[in-house]
Amino acid sequence: MPDTVIELDKLTKAYGETIAVNELSMQIEQGEIFGFLGPNGAGKTTTILMLMGLTEPSSGIAKVAGYQLPRQGIKIRRLAGYLPENVGFYDDMTAYQNLLYTARLNSIPRGESENKVTDVLAAVGLKDVSDKKVGKFSKGMKQRLGIADVLIKEPSVAFLDEPTAGVDPEGVKLILGLIRNLSEEKKTTVMLSSHLLYQVQRICHRVGIIAKGRLVAYGSIERLGKEALKGGDLTIEVQLAEKSESRALLEDLRSLPSVKDVHRSGSALSVRCGEDVRPLIAKKIVEQGAQLLEMKLRDSSLEEIYTRYFRET
Ligand SMILES: Nc1ncnc2c1ncn2[C@@H]1O[C@H](COP(=O)(O)OP(=O)(O)OP(=O)(O)O)[C@@H](O)[C@H]1O
Ligand SMILES: [Mg+2]
């Protein structure tokens, strides 16, 4: 397996007049969890379909594990795990039977596959419903089964299109944990799409943000945050002991260098400023005889990314 597992070069897909994916270039390395983020209709699913060889690019290059798309699509579908946007299973078969079928398709020996199916169903939290027909599954249960279907295959590359869609908070935690394990323990390269930046960002090594078919940001969340914050303000959250704040303190804080605004809500203050003036704030609080319980810099970088790249495009 080459170091660069997924490679796109000016990849483009047009549906008639609509350019769904517009000259997308990026590279994803082995073992990396790459978050492919963007609002509805941005082109995420179309890109993944091209990388799985399920739809043909209009122009540009797509390569997975050294294989060229769409020509070597069969090879990629054999090695890659894929969670489609709308997971489909045999409705009148049970969860267990569906996964056993997947195991057989992937040439996993019968002796091994039964234990494996049981383990994987437990891992995604479907142990108790393994003998229930999938036609009677809820959206979230089907989604969990879709993840199980990818895990069974033990793929070296996985494309997960909105892996957390329709899943409850507990399930989201579970699924993100499983994806992280894939990368850490099996060195699986994972490309996952989502329109929920906040939900998936903590497991992604890097992200690409796509809007209207174009890549508008690409890199680690940390780097994107710094870029988005350039020229922006910081917010410092201050928690005082109850009833220890005073009008004089507010006035003092407002007069500190670079402070633009001080907002009070009960015994909590939020200070908007141009630079990190936490030491000065602490000093003023002590001088005014108030009691400081907690003070922290709000991590606004994600919010900035969200506003800048998602909402405005
Ligand atoms: N089969 C198709 N025929 C015509 N247009 C399509 C087709 N599939 C997608 N599109 C268009 O391509 C654009 C990108 O769609 P795509 O499904 O890739 O977005 P997405 O980022 O996956 O969105 P979502 O978050 O809603 O899943 C949209 O404008 C969509 O209307
Ligand atoms: Mg989609």
Extract the runs of DSSP E, i.e. beta strands, from 96-205: 157-161, 189-194
Extract the runs of DSSP E, i.e. beta strands, from 162-205: 189-194
Name the residue of 13, 18, 51, 143 whose CB sits within 8 Å of the most ligand 1 atoms, as the mutation to test its pocket: 18
Residue ranges of the chain assigned to CATH 3.30.70.100: 229-307
Residues 182, 148 contacting (CB under 8 angstroms)? no
Q: What angle do CA 207, 211, 212 make, to 5 degrees?
A: 145
- Between the CA of 226 and the centroid of ligand 1 the distance, in Å, is 31
Nearest alpha carbon to residue 30 among 210, 206, 185, 156: 156
Fold of 229-307: Alpha-Beta Plaits (3.30.70)
- Could you read off the pLDDT tens digit of each residue along the chain, which spans 313 residues? 668 999 999 999 999 999 999 999 999 999 999 999 998 999 999 999 999 999 999 999 999 999 999 999 999 999 999 999 998 999 999 999 999 999 999 999 988 999 999 999 999 999 999 999 999 999 999 999 999 999 999 999 999 999 999 899 998 999 999 999 999 999 999 999 998 888 888 899 999 999 899 998 899 988 887 777 666 778 899 999 987 767 899 999 999 999 999 999 889 999 999 888 999 999 999 999 999 999 998 766 666 777 777 765 4
Which of the 8 DSSP states describes residue 133? B
Tell me the DSSP string of 209-271: EEETTEEEEEE-HHHHHHHHHTT--EEEEEEEPTT---HHHHHHHHTSTTEEEEEEETTEEEE
Name the residue of 11, 12, 15 whose CB sits within 8 Å of the most ligand 1 atoms, as the mutation to test its pocket: 15
Helix (H, G, I), strand (E, B) or coil at 255: coil
Q: Which CATH architecture has domain 4-219?
A: 3-Layer(aba) Sandwich (3.40)
> How far is C-alpha 111 from the geometric centre of its chain's CA atoms?
36
Residue ranges of the chain assigned to CATH 3.40.50.300: 4-219
Model confidence, pTM: 0.82
